Amino acid sequence: MVRLFALACGILVANIYYAQPLAGPIGAELGLPATATGLIVTMTQVGYGLGLLLIVPLGDLIENRRLIVSVIALDVLAILGIAAAGAPGPFLAAAFLVGLFSVVAQIIVPLAAQLSPDATRGQTVGNVMSGLLLGIMLARPVSSFVTELSSWHVIFIASAVAMTALAVALHVWLPERRPASGLSYGGLLLSLARLFAETPVLRRRAFYHALMFAAFSLFWTATPLLLAGPLYGLSQGGIALFAFAGVAGAVAAPLAGRLADRGRTRMATAAAMACAALAFPMTFAAEPGSALALGLLVAAGILLDFGVSANLVLGQRAIFSLAAAYRSRLNGLYMAIFFAGGAIGSAAGAWAFASGGWPLCAATGFAFPIAALIYFATER
């Protein structure tokens, strides 16, 4: 069941990232002006952010198996809408809906925590999140390779087929879970503000990871620009291979879960933040453009992803230790807050690279986990 949850989360979350490296060819085919191609990614992110607040909390209200399968079915229709789109308007509307419905992965994670005994809850969450992180990290290089061999439409058609098979599997094997919140949907949404105000663990862990995810997003926004530039001159295929390196960082998720189960969350959190901070200065240990410098960039990507993956699971283990009746709402808030940090990091990465190249990017990226460490030092 844990492997099924991990596979489901990976397949679902990948839909948010397939289009990121394909903005150029998609925009050219649809007739989008170059200044508007950013909307191809932005609309999916906007939909995902809204889904975290509007759909994920339903896991505390509606029977979970029915909710998960129904939202996946809607996601399949939205993905087919992307694959069939021939004009900017329909594509952007479908991209928004794909982001909105792909949040179903964040209903599955608290369900996995609910079904797990307390003594191994961190390990379960870590294993499930490793699947989700692999989906994030593999989506971009896979979509690049598939598009290079065929067309950008193919990756979305393949995703719709995989999602349909996933919906059938989850309908067959998922156990029922009927929440007993007693709230209306309006009351459920209103309770989000109260939960945020009254749950210091949620606030701290969400802000820690918002800063960590900002560093992650900055790095993976800026490094393709650096690698495609005159210093390295990598092709799209070479950049896709570079992105594969980050997959190694996903091994941190189950390790972090086990450490949390053993009561070592504080030590592991500090180590995760230190790893993320160290990733940026290490890229200056060799002559820019050299083979050694490229190797250090690869190592930095692995180290950064390792720290970010570990911190994500440590945060979820902490908030899932609270009352089961509002785990979905806590997870939705946690994800929405750190997702906003990721959006800030992406914007900061593009600005910093255009303004000061990689040195300014690295300095900005280094500041995010250092700020997280300083804030963490105030935790009792």
pLDDT at residue 167 tops 90: yes
Per-residue pLDDT at 99 exceeds 80:
yes
Q: How confident is the model over 279-302, as a mean pLDDT?
A: 94
Angle at 153 (CA atoms; ends 158, 349), nearest 5 degrees: 100
Calculate the alpha carbon distances from 334 to 92, 109, 204, 255, 370 in Å.
26, 12, 10, 21, 20
Confidence of residue 267 (pLDDT cuts 50, 70, 90): very high
pLDDT value, residue 286: 92
pLDDT band for position 236 (cuts 50, 70, 90): low
pLDDT band at 38; cut points 50, 70, 90: low
Contact 376, 269 (CB under 8 A): yes
The model's pLDDT over 133-162, given as tens digits with 9 standing for 90+, comes to: 889 888 988 888 888 888 899 999 999 999
Opening angle at CA 320, ends 340 and 322, nearest 5: 110
**Lowest-pLDDT range, 19-23, 136-140, 183-187, 282-286?**
19-23
Q: What is the pLDDT of residue 27?
A: 85
pLDDT at 41: 76
Q: How confident is the model at residue 181 (pLDDT cuts 50, 70, 90)?
A: low
Average pLDDT on 297-325 reads: 90
Residue 353 has pLDDT above 90, yes or no: no
pLDDT-above-90 percentage for the chain: 52
Mean pLDDT calculated for residue range 170-184: 86
Over the stretch 190-217, which tens digit does the pLDDT of each residue have? 999 999 999 999 999 999 999 999 998 8
Q: Where are the alpha helices (DSSP H) in 32-184?
A: 39-54, 64-84, 88-101, 105-115, 121-149, 152-173
Which structural domains are found in the chain, ordered by start? 2-376 (1.20.1250.20)
Residue 347 predicted with pLDDT over 80: no
Q: Which residue has the tokens 């720290």?
A: 307
pLDDT digits (tens, 9 = 90+) for 42-86: 788 889 989 999 999 999 999 999 999 999 999 999 999 999 998
pLDDT at 107: 94
Q: What is the CA radius of gyration of the chain?
A: 20
Name the percent of the chain lying above pLDDT 70: 98
Query: Region 303-313: what's the mean pLDDT?
Result: 92
Mean pLDDT of all residues belonging to the chain: 90
- The residue with greater pLDDT, 323 or 114, is 114
Element of type H or E holding 379: none
Name the residue with higher pLDDT: 184 or 64: 64
d(C-alpha 290, C-alpha 22), whole Å: 28
Spatial CB neighbours of 78, under 8 Å, sequence gap ≥ 6: 94, 97, 98, 100, 101
CA neighbor of 15 nearest in space, from 86, 93, 85, 104:
104
